[in-house]
Amino acid sequence: MSDAPLPTGPLRGDLTEGPLTRTLIVFAVPQMIGNVMQSLNGSINAVWVGRLLGNGALAATANANIIMFLLFALVFGFGMAATVKVGQAWGRKDVVAARRSLGTAIGLTFMLALATSLGGWIFAPQMLHWLATPGESYGEALVYLRVVFIANPAATVTTMLAMGMRGSGDAGTPLRFMILTSVLDVILNPLFIMGWGPVPRMGIGGSAFATVIASFLGLFGMIAWIYAKDLPLRLRGKELAFLKPHRSELRYILGKGLPMGAQMLVISGAGVIMIGLVNREGLEMASAYGALLQVWNYIGMPAMAIGAAVSAMVAQHIGAGREDRVDAISRAGSTANLAITAVLLAAMLLFDRPLLALFLGDASPAVPLAQHIQSLAIWTYLPFGVTIVLFGTLRAYGVVYSQLLVLFTSMYLIRYGIYWLLYPSLGADALWYSLMVSSVMSMVLTLAAYFKGGWRRQMQRRIAAAAG
């Protein structure tokens, strides 16, 4: 399908050379910055919504966003599978195979995004009812959710492009356009919420509309950049046929992506249940939790970025036949994440009141409630980080069902078992203790899967064969 010769020297974005920790950190930092920018975008928009429209509107966006995450989870699973497939091809220096994998992933997920956008618009009321969205914020949540669904195809393709490029070791290009999208969204939010000049006042629908515009402009900008710079993963000429899902590629992306997406669904489903339980404690509790979710996003970002970097890095090492360095990559990722997360925890606890007041207002009674919740639940991010980093290694080996079992066991059986057990004596605090217990158990079960799984014995045999 392409006349391009296979490269014989090092590829740009080769993650198999150089000191492990330095290579991992340098590769993860742009992803981390991109994740922080994305969270900052959401947080600033939440400030606009909370300050300009009130706590009811803020609670509405929290309910709508958890649904968007739920629906986006499956697509994200396909993206993770594509990252691994592209990374393994990059490790083998097979650029054409990398393009084919990415093309299949984009073609598949774009069709899915169109279907979920249409279905989401139609069934948005039922989704909000399932969440037990408080009546005070239901109307605003419905408007916000329906408009945001329009941005879903652009956000899906952008994410798929970004994940494929990271598989090829390019974290810089996705970062550029994450920044562009975030800046546009932040600037346009107050403009469309309040109106100015010829722009009408749109309220909470304006916040969602700003996201739609920013998402499409970011996607078009990234595509233009890829072709202007002739980046290695661009499709041209006959290679455009790669956008029609290829059977062998589709088998891998569906076979691995579905359980990877199911992992995200398990996580987001647990979040949906948590939102529902929090909503039942009243609007003040829902507002406090909505603000905390904005703050906590920053603590989880290093783990997500380092876990994704570990997955791409391990995938390239598998393709290059250098599996003897895999355990060292996992250790480097876990250590780096623990150090960064500890610093963030200290900063969040030290400045919690002014941070929470940004979303809730200085005089809001939800501020001390949010401080109390944070003091109990914030520690979950230390074991969470180790779990996510090790998931990255397992994912690169195509090990997906053990993670699914770990997540289901810890986030449903253990978390909600602890909640129902403790609720009669602790009330709402049972929610936050259950988060900590489930996070620790998730890490313990993941360590068992990492050190005792069958994938590890196969890896060790290949290492021994290569050495002998």
- Give residue 131's pLDDT band: very low, low, confident or very high (50, 70, 90): low
Place of tokens 């941070």: 355
Is position 380 within any domain?
A: yes
pLDDT tens-digit map of 188-220: 888 888 878 787 887 777 888 888 899 899 999
Residue partners of 281: CB distance under 8 A and separation at least 6: 428
The CA-CA-CA angle for residues 406, 411, 414, to 5°, reads 90
Residue 4 has pLDDT above 50, yes or no: no
pLDDT given at position 5: 42
Per-residue confidence band for 449, with pLDDT thresholds at 50, 70 and 90: very high
Per-residue model confidence as pLDDT tens digits over 82-101: 889 999 999 888 899 899 99
Q: Is residue 13 part of a domain?
A: no
Q: Amino acid identity of 123?
A: F
Residue 356 counted as domain residue: yes
Least confident range from 50-64, 164-178, 291-305, 399-413: namely 50-64
CA 328 – CA 53 distance, rounded (Å)? 49
Instruction: Count structural domains, the chain.
Output: 1
Does residue 95 lie in a domain region? Answer: yes
DSSP secondary structure string for all residues of 253-285: HHHHHHHHHHHHHHHHHHHHHHHHHHHTT-HHH
For 166-191, what is the mean pLDDT?
Answer: 88
CB 404 within 8 A of CB 460: no
319 Cβ contact list (under 8 Å, min separation 6): 87, 88, 89, 90, 91, 92
Alpha helices in 168-243 (DSSP H): 172-194, 204-228
Question: What pLDDT, on the 0 to 100 scale, is given for residue 134?
Answer: 67
Is 134 within 8 Å of 59 (Cβ atoms)? yes
Per-residue pLDDT at 359 exceeds 80: no
Decide if 445 is inside a domain. yes
User: What's the pLDDT band for 427 if we cut at 50, 70, 90?
Assistant: confident
Is the residue at 54 inside a domain?
Answer: yes
| Maximal CA-CA distance, the chain | 74
pLDDT band at 248 (very low <50, low <70, confident <90, very high): confident
> Does pLDDT of 458 surpass 80?
yes
Higher pLDDT, 52 or 202: 202
pLDDT of residue 290: 80
Q: What is the pLDDT of residue 75?
A: 76
Specify if 240 maps to a domain: yes
Give the mean pLDDT of 51-67.
65
pLDDT at site 394: 94
Q: How far is CA 347 from CA 59, 280, 336, 353, in A?
A: 25, 30, 17, 11
| Average pLDDT value for residue range 280-307 | 83
Average pLDDT value for the chain: 84
Q: What is the pLDDT of residue 1?
A: 42
Give the pLDDT of residue 151. 82
User: Buried b / exposed e across 206-242, counting CB within 10 Å, b at 16+?
Assistant: bbbbbbbbbbbbbbebbeeebeeeeebbebeeebeeb
Residue 66 confidence class, pLDDT cut points 50, 70, 90:
low
* Spatial distance between the Cα atoms of 229 and 216, rounded to a whole number of angstroms: 20
State the pLDDT at residue 57: 65
Name residues whose C-beta falls within 8 Å of residue 50's C-beta, 6 or more positions apart in sequence: 57, 58, 291, 359, 360, 361
Residue-range definition of the domain harbouring residue 461: 20-467
pLDDT of res. 225: 94
Given a cut of 90, is residue 314 above it in pLDDT? yes
> Which pLDDT score is estimated for 58?
65
Phi then psi for 434, rounded to 5 degrees?
A: -65, -30
Least confident range of 21-30, 124-133, 419-428: 124-133
Residue 228 pLDDT? 92
Q: Is residue 8 part of a domain?
A: no
pLDDT of 310 > 90? The answer is yes
Least confident of 123-137, 220-234, 325-339: 123-137
Among the residue ranges 105-114, 214-223, 382-391, 400-409, the one predicted with the least confidence is 105-114
9 — pLDDT class (breaks 50, 70, 90) = very low
Average pLDDT estimate for 345-366: 80
In terms of pTM, does the model score above 0.75? yes
pLDDT value of position 410: 94
